Structure 1
């Protein structure tokens, strides 16, 4: 088993996924729940040196008000958590609440800014100050808790995309941009990523946000000998695409079109109702098919906010394909899942695996963890089974 304690620092620490992670770890520590959804608890990972449940210590940043106990009760009401879980694990939630610090809100987009509580946001005159504040919080957390390693996980809402042409092209330009709030193109997710570097922490970007997804910041991670991975957790419709699309390719079935309609509620749905924020999510979901099929079918992805669904997302897909002699056929499927319950175990898996990467001294984008992401850094998207085989080989190395 890994030595010492590992910090899991969550950006978006009172959101649905973060709250489910906190309750889930508490339940696992007490033996109250089976390890469903956790890849690292399956047979291929037996014997891999990963931290135990009681070695993972939680903290985080948040720009919204409220408490984790309130968040857990809201999830209970939405059938995401078992009834009584909020009160049963109230002490665990209170410990995390005590470690949550006000977050930074820099060019995060109107929809995210509308959710923020002024008392939960650190005012920063420049992007460099935001990076410094983030790093100081991480270092204080590590020292106060006596942690051996820290992994930051981005779980905040989806920011609008950043124009690639506006990004700094090298480390010098990146560093210079941090002193000019008016001209720096970076959003909060990238400033959090830079703060993680300053604090010596690994990074997991579970969101479609830019984070560490450009060359200059990748160079900084490599130079700092720190690992990072992302982006955009693969939990629902895209997970199915990565399993089903290779089937069509393997049988030489020609996919002419693949249309997906996605419905979701909760705060993610509210943020993605804004066209600018939605654009980043749609781009992430659309990238997969061409790499798996060999060519690009006509494709359309829609995302609609439906308040009544709460944390339960629904995806309906229609696949139009041709077989022998050009005969047209179709497949339709419906995916209905609980967003937080699908994502939370992946977050726990990723923290355990990034802890392993830190102990191994790995650095830069970890393409071996591509199985968890829609838009993996350091690797091209592949069939899910191939990505899982690569992950197991890497973990058992």
Structure 2
């Protein structure tokens, strides 16, 4: 590349782009690029990733699919009113929000192969008009209910479109996406990298730390129960028992993998609309120590899902783009640190996952 050439830009195409997470991603990237806010929560902006060859934040271009019609600037104002975004930030990054909103195309509500080509064409057009080196597709839509219906579900339709458009794919949701059996041959032939699934932002992040602690201390966990209170789009979606089952499956899997057995107890998800984008997660852990002494640990996690998720989405988009640039393909198991139900083989404990992620960052930077 000559000194007069512009560095290559990378597209981030979000499924569910007008939701709280998508809006926070766009507003957050614009704020970081302008130096308005620090990059708190973004691992890819920490020293171990400085030589990984990741695309710089100012070179990311945003677009996506959504069935919602509320424009990003208006959505950002609502999030600022709820305390999710800093006061005044929507006005400061209004131009960037507007530019991204103009790149959002109508999504689909129903599955089926006949919808794939139109969605793939939207992504190809986005890449061509902006002369992008590559586009990473990230699913940040609401959780899809688990059903036994035949055919291709909506999340798999979007994933198939990403693969047909030649894009690495990241599934930040519990939905099946690229792992649907009907996509197996398409994904294998594509040679593209993919990562997922279900971003680990709150309760399960804590479980990934605590469950290995009990196992390593040889303490017997007798029961592990939890409750999630949340509102917003996720709360409404997870009010559907089938969607909640998909979400809870990942939470339970973390415990079973770390403890070697699935303890008694269940996790409940309650929709509390007044909470909006804020979430409270409570865990009650009954365990047994030396001589059968029974004890209890209780934890409470209160946080904002969009603010927790957005930096991870930016991390994953940058890492997946760099992996594609390096010619990697198939499941990126090294990104398991970010997910409840990671693809590929890898450790369960958060500390071990972090170590593997740092090694991956080092390898991405070789010959960068």
Q: Same fold (TM over 0.5)?
A: yes
**After the TM superposition, which residues 219-298 of structure 1 pair with which residues of structure 2 at under 5 Å, given as runs?**
219-298=185-264
Partner Cα distance (1:6, 1:72) in 2: 23
Could you tell me which residue of structure 2 aligns to residue 150 of structure 1? 135
Could you tell me which residue of structure 2 aligns to residue 83 of structure 1? 87
Shift of residue 70 of structure 1? Answer: 1.1
Shift of residue 371 of structure 1? Answer: 0.7
Partner Cα distance (1:263, 1:300) in 2: 14
Shift of residue 394 of structure 1? Answer: 1.4
Could you tell me which residue of structure 1 aligns to residue 265 of structure 2? 299
Shift of residue 380 of structure 1? Answer: 4.8
Question: Matched residue pairs, number?
Answer: 359
Query: Does 2:175 align with 1:209?
Result: yes
| Counterpart among 90, 95, 100 of residue 96 in structure 1 | 100
Q: 1:217 to 1:3 in 2, by over 3 A?
A: farther
Partner Cα distance (1:286, 1:13) in 2: 28
Contact 2:113-2:152 at 8 Å conserved across structures: no
TM-score, reference length from structure 2: 0.95
Shift of residue 213 of structure 1? Answer: 1.8
Could you tell me which residue of structure 1 aligns to residue 335 of structure 2? 369
Shift of residue 319 of structure 1? Answer: 0.5
Contact 1:269-1:306 at 8 Å conserved across structures: yes
**After the TM superposition, which residues 11-50 of structure 1 pair with which residues of structure 2 at under 5 Å, given as runs?**
11-50=15-54
Shift of residue 314 of structure 1? Answer: 0.4
Q: Which runs of 5+ in 2 are unaligned?
A: 364-368
Partner Cα distance (1:220, 1:3) in 2: 31
Shift of residue 194 of structure 1? Answer: 0.5
Contact 1:7-1:142 at 8 Å conserved across structures: yes
Shift of residue 43 of structure 1? Answer: 2.5
Shift of residue 296 of structure 1? Answer: 1.8
Contact 1:375-1:381 at 8 Å conserved across structures: no
Partner SS state of residue 324, structure 2? helix
Partner Cα distance (1:278, 1:331) in 2: 25
Partner SS state of residue 177, structure 2? coil
Q: Which runs of 5+ in 1 are unaligned?
A: 108-126, 167-183
**After the TM superposition, which residues 153-192 of structure 1 pair with which residues of structure 2 at under 5 Å, given as runs?**
153-163=138-148, 184-192=150-158
Partner SS state of residue 396, structure 1? helix
Partner SS state of residue 148, structure 1? strand
| Counterpart among 5, 9, 32 of residue 5 in structure 1 | 9
| Counterpart among 109, 125, 132 of residue 140 in structure 1 | 125
TM-score, reference length from structure 1: 0.88
